Amino acid sequence: MQFIPEGPDIPEHLLNAHADGDVVFFCGAGVSVDAGYPLFAKLVNQLRDLNPISDTPELDDAISNRNFDFALSILEKQIGTGGMLRTGVRDILSVPPLTLRVHEILLDLVTQGHGNRLVTTNFDRLFIQADEQNRFSVDAAPRLPIPKKKRWNSVVHLHGLLSEKSNDVNSLSDLVLTSADFGEAYITDGYCSRFVVELLRNFTVVFIGYSLSDPVMRYLLDAISVAQLRDGSSFRQPYAFISHSAGKMQQVLRAWEHRPVKVIPYLTKQQGKHFRLYKTLKAWAELAAGGQRARETLALNEGQKPYLAEDSFTAERLLWALRDESGKAAKALADTPDQTADVKWLPVFAKNGLLDQVYSLAEWIEVVSKNGGRTNKDIADIEYRGSVTRGGNIGHLKPTTIELLRWMQRHLRTVELADWFLTNGGVPHPAFSNEYSHPGNKRHRQGLGPDHRLFWDILTSDAYRISHSPVSYWSGLRDALNLSNPIAAKELLSNFALRLDIQPSPYREFEQEELEANNKNFLKSFRFELKLADQSFDHRLKQLVGSSSEIDGLETLAEPLTDLIISSLGWLKIVGASSEFDDGSGYSIPSISPHDQNKFVEEFGQLVFLLRDSFVRLSRIDRARAISLAQRWDRLEYPVFRRLFFYAALEIGEPLDASALCRLLANEGADLWRTGIQREVNRYLRRRVSFWTTDQISKLVGQIQLGPSRTTFPDVEQDRWSEFREREIVSLLKKLAQGEIAFPVKAKTLLTELTQKFPSALPDDHSDEFVIYSGGARGVHWDEDVSPGAFSLFIKLTSAERVEHWQPDNADMFRKLAVESPEAAIATMEEAIKFGLPEPRFWREGFYGLATNLKTSAATSQHEQTDGGLETTTIALMRRAVDTLETAPEVVLQAREVAHAVVQFWRDAPVADLTMEKYLSVWDRIWTNAVSTPMPEAASNGAVSLTINDPGGELSEQLIGFLWPADAKVGSGLPNDLASRISTAVRRTDHSRFDPSSVIAASRLEIMHAVDPPWAEREIIPLLDWGANPSAAAYWEGFLWPARISPDLFKALKPYFLEAMRREEDIDVHSYGVLCQMLVLASLEMQSLSLDEAKAALGKLSQKALHHVSGFVRQRVLNSKANSAAYWERTVGPWLSRCWPRDASKRSDQIAEDFAMASLYCGAKFPDAMRWFERNQLFRVLPQASTILHALDRKGPDLHEDFAATSSLIEKFPADVLHLIWICRPFQWDHDNTARTLLTRMVHADASLIDDPEYRDLDDLLPN
């Protein structure tokens, strides 16, 4: 902290140590300069002038080399031992001082440090003269006290003290003046060195008035170094105030860099002008004199200053004031409204740890037992850890953090406070919520507008907090999902619970004036969305939607998903982000039906898609329930359910026609015109209405002719209303015309008239149906975008006519042709080869369509259990399609969009029936062309995902599968056809960019090395050489994809593997996790890596990487099942004892939870394993580790298989289980009070535990 601008920056640790009475100032000649006394160099020259002797070369050399103690030895030898030299010292240092200001400041500072202790190497009596009140006793060499806190309270003159009697010549011999004196004091007798060493062990020493060239400082530093080398002495960190001129600070710091002293630099703009230092020391003394009130006063004074980000001077002072564990300075900010700090200080407080002050278990027990305060501790400047904004943490906050939460209540009207909460986790700590909601604290809520009240009511509510709680991770680990099992269905739904996500509005800056002027518009400062409570399940949800047809029991989700979405939309309704007119789904979910416009839909929209798919399954299994559900959707107020209803009405057909008509006619036909549901309404109009009765069509068209109500579009200006209304009418009539309905005469006339007035046609791609359309997207479903009439004409054309009159707009129809009539499509492709048609879209859509036909044919054949006649026909047709690949223009096959389609066709085509020669001939051609166009530039991170979607990568994968020998054995060798092609793929590039085919080769390294070690070591392993291959990271990702390794392969890979372990930043997270698992296997089980090598590798891993290792150890112990006790005793325990790093900075909550679970999995050795982890400080308080409780709980038929053994540990080892729970305290998400149930079981197992202090502690902590 700086006390004055441009003054020295006093470390916070030093300020706190001074307040605790642990600092000793160690003063040199520099503190007496202002008094008019000389430094050592000037003293030597004055003594030489006082004693007229002849200069000698030795004396000149000693002075020029600043060896002043040796120079004085020479002088004393020349003058003689009669005492003239020392008398001269007395005379020079006894003149009346010019000022005692510096000495008075230092004595005041010492006095405020709760101990009258000071050390000086000066001989003068200036400290004694400055002590007018005789507060200090004095000790002087050679009779030195023992520098321990309880045995020493004096000013110590380490090198002797001038007698106050001018005729006392004998005492002058005690002065440590010459090199001989220094030798005796620091070496032969060593009384000075002993004092200094003991002083540094017991106190924080601050040197002041010395320079690095000072002989005295040199002796002091040598004494420290010798003591450290001789007996390993451990000292408290000493400090030294060192001056520097402008621009020379770094030079000074470098000079002290390897010294055992931490420098506190300060600026001197003129030689000898140290006023900045002494003003700082004076201000320090004045602050210290104020005691606790000084911190409070400083906090209020600095806090009320305008916040300036660049004002580090104010920031440091305010932070120091608040870093008081009693919390009184923070309380002053909270209790003094007219002097409270600006809310803009909040991020500064957070970054500097003031909002992360949480008691450790040991600290909290001490606080409870003593019911008192604690001493100050330095808090490092670290990133905010989220202690008060990331969920219902039950950790006990320290007073400073508690008081700052109270201070925040004064800023509830500011958007800055809201933003800070939202960007740092968004869920206030219960202490903040209690302070806000407590009936006795109404003053905080007074003056808040309705929007402010609603915002903070939401954030501090239990409902909001619980919705942000993380969920179980088990569902994501299941291989097969059967939702017919009600437990699996409930678990899945719990994983997909939605929460209200609040973020700053992106439009805030454009509406700032309105927001500031109108207190009611506070909510407009934020964007409200629904997101998964645990976003790690977003990918899992998309996977389920993508494979919904394969999920057993999907239909069981239809009703509960409906309820879940209704409940979640209630959040949006509360904040005004959802109503019967708009719930935002028109923008966030482009289409309820599958469509490429949905490719960017996230979380909430994916949940709607899962509901859609579950409805489709339900409609096939129980049509009556599906109709009932659709009618329920029709009655719900939210537009997303209206959209689902129209989707369902199209799927169900006639049974819902009447309901759809009623919906479209209700409220003056409002749903016909509403923007948010227009996609599903328009799609229904063009695809279903043509099947209605004449009467139903007449009623609908009549409503359309009336046009939209004026209240539906209140923002349209009156002078534009008539034209706007007519455009809306003609758009819907044209939409019906796309469905080829029979219009009533009046409506047909109106359509003709309005079409003449507004002649533009509706787009063929139906992009007009979307609120926002992102442009043409490949792969649009043909049934959505192909007009039945246009397709009817297209299919009647001959193959030659389709080629001759080809236009890009025909692409979707050609794909449909390939799906419905593959023979006609193949004939057209054969004609295109003759014609030389190079159009990529033609070939792309043709091959995509043929691939779709193959999938449909295979599914139909399997479903209908046909005798193979259709399959034979399909094979014959597709062989013709394969032939086109041999003759299609190369320029076409080189286009990446065509290559993707070709690969998809090749994957599904009946190539297994081809001759080997034919297969390889075609494969060589399509692979060579596919890889001739390099993939777009991409980072190696994520190489596997890019590879499996790359034509070259997919073809290489298919080649290996086709050519792999069924009778392959270890060492039998690879077929030449396969080995030569892989070698060609690997060698064809310089790997400056990663090659997908090489990634595939690396992914098969383990099995290829088993079959053909020499070839694999020659061709594939060099891909993983970090020194020789610039894309090694990508190939390592490929190799780690299948996560398999053998001892022989590890031996060949070992040097590259160990280098990979050092490349965490170069490898994607999943792959690096697999790499860490292989490290464990290689050392723990395969013995391919020595324990010393494993220890060295683990020691270099990051905390995150060690979590991969601990997680794998946990899983291995779990997998050992009945042998877990022996596995711990013989394998895991010894391995951890030898190899696991003990560095405290490498520990984490996740690692501690892994090891807690691993100990539980150790069966009969659970007590031993648990105690080992505890001894090695690998456990900690784990509020969120609810899995520990689940593992010990007995849930009858609901018990997870992983917990079959652990659930009975309480009855076997009740005291040990109690101790583990007491250490970890995993209660944050224990909403069912499982911990209380476990405590009851422990007492039943061992009644004596009721008197155990750990039991009583938990009994007091847990709710009854």
Q: State the alpha helices, DSSP H only, in 913-995.
A: 916-930, 943-948, 951-963, 976-987
> What's the token pair of residue 1094?
């494993």
Asked if 597 and 774 count as a contact pair (C-beta separation under 8 A), the reply is: yes
Q: Largest alpha-carbon pair distance within the chain? A: 138
List strand residue ranges (DSSP E) for 224-306, in order: 239-244, 262-267
935 — alpha (psi -120 to 50), left (phi > 0) or beta?
beta
Using CA atoms, how far apart are residues 229 and 260, in angstroms rounded to an integer? 12
Question: For position 474, what pLDDT does the model report?
Answer: 47
Write the CATH number of the domain with boundaries 12-35+99-282.
3.40.50.1220
Using CA atoms, how far apart are residues 25 and 630, in angstroms rounded to an integer? 83
Q: Which of 586, 593, 748 is nearest to 673 (CA)?
A: 586
- How open is the CA angle 270-275-277, to the nearest 5 degrees? 110
Which pTM value belongs to this model? Answer: 0.52
Using CA atoms, how far apart are residues 1234 and 1230, in angstroms rounded to an integer? 6
Question: For position 281, what pLDDT does the model report?
Answer: 92
Sheet with strand 118-120: strands edge to edge: 138-140, 155-157, 118-120, 23-27, 204-208, 239-244, 262-267
From residue 113, alpha-carbon distances to 14, 24, 201, 823 in Å are 11, 9, 18, 97
**Cβ neighbours for 1236, distance < 8 A, ≥ 6 positions apart:** 1262, 1263, 1264
Task: Using DSSP bridges, classify how beta strands 498-504 and 526-532 pair: parallel, antiparallel or unpaired.
Answer: antiparallel
Using CA atoms, how far apart are residues 992 and 1067, in angstroms rounded to an integer? 17
Using CA atoms, how far apart are residues 238 and 199, in angstroms rounded to an integer? 10
The helix or strand, by DSSP H or E, that contains position 561, with its residue range, turns out to be helix 558-574
Rg of the Cα atoms in the chain: 41
CB crowding 1152-1174: b at 16 or more within 10 Å, else e: bbbbbbbbbbbbebbbbbbebbb
From residue 894, alpha-carbon distances to 302, 891, 903 in Å are 69, 5, 12
> What are the pLDDT digits (tens) for 785-825?
555 556 767 877 888 988 988 888 788 888 888 888 888 89
- How open is the CA angle 689-695-698, to the nearest 5 degrees? 70
Q: State the alpha helices, DSSP H only, in 821-889.
A: 822-835, 840-864, 869-887
Question: For position 405, what pLDDT does the model report?
Answer: 87
CA atoms within 13 A on the CB side of 505: 17
What is the DSSP annotation of 384-434? Answer: ---TTTBS---PPBPHHHHHHHHHHGGGTT-HHHHHHHHHTTSB--HHHHH
3-state secondary structure of 552: strand
Question: For position 1107, what pLDDT does the model report?
Answer: 92
Asked if 675 and 584 count as a contact pair (C-beta separation under 8 A), the reply is: no
Spans in the chain with pLDDT lower than 50: 371-381, 473-477, 517-518, 776-784, 862-870, 939-940
Question: For position 1096, what pLDDT does the model report?
Answer: 93
Using CA atoms, how far apart are residues 46 and 1122, in angstroms rounded to an integer? 88
> What's the token pair of residue 278?
């002494």
Return the residue matching tokens 């799906």: 819
Question: For position 368, what pLDDT does the model report?
Answer: 58
Question: For position 669, what pLDDT does the model report?
Answer: 92
Q: State the alpha helices, DSSP H only, in 304-395.
A: 312-322, 328-335, 346-351, 361-370
CA atoms within 13 A on the CB side of 1171: 7
Question: For position 426, what pLDDT does the model report?
Answer: 85
Omega before 142 cis (within 30°)? yes
Domain boundaries, the chain: 12-35+99-282, 38-92, 291-449, 664-752, 782-930, 943-1048, 1181-1264
